[in-house]
Amino acid sequence: MAPAKLDLKQHIRHVPDFPKPGILFYDISTLLAHAGAWHEALDRLAAALAPYQPDLLVGIESRGFLVAAPLADRLGTGFVMIRKRGKLPGEVIRHAYDLEYGEDVIEIQAEAVQPGQRVVVLDDLLATGGTMAAAVTLLEKVGAEVAAIGCLIELTFLKGRERLRVPVHALLAYDN
């Protein structure tokens, strides 16, 4: 008899009114701190994303690094970072995108991805999809083939998946 699957939602802490009043923050630090749950989460993501046969995993600053780096090791791929403006050394390629109130800029090192490489983009959480959509656009700008997106948590009520043109794999979904 196979062991019961671990309920990963039990390892996500809910923090009300963070970072500002009215926001419910889904904190992955409790998942990261529990060795068994973190191992299970990485196993499940690896199984979901391996069929895309990525050359590289791309993590979005900063919690996306925590997901993408160990997963890259498991899948035998390289790992590349997408960061906020001014955080990467050397020549970078930028992409500006609109926020609800203003604009943000993300960057990738110019030589990090070669044209035609298959990539999977990872972050801890998919909410409205704005940053993830910007990351996909930036990667396409440098010639990557974005095969899929992976995340630990998806806030389905914010409909971020609808902004994305590639398959999305989320381990956990919250409907409100």
Q: How far is CA 171 from the centre of its chain?
A: 11
- Count CA atoms closer than 13 A to 168's CA, side-chain side: 25
Residues 6+ apart with CB under 8 A from 43: none
Running DSSP on this structure, what letter comes out for residue 113?
A: S
Dihedral sign from CA coordinates of 96, 126, 146, 76? positive
Q: Active-site residue 145, yes or no?
A: no
Q: Which of 63, 83, 107, 154 is catalytic?
A: 63
Residue with tokens 């900063």: 62
DSSP per-residue string spanning 32-89: HH-HHHHHHHHHHHHHHHGGG--SEEEEETTHHHHHHHHHHHHHT-EEEEEEETT-S-
Residue with tokens 């956990």: 172
Q: Active-site residue 100, yes or no?
A: yes
Return the active site residues: 63, 100
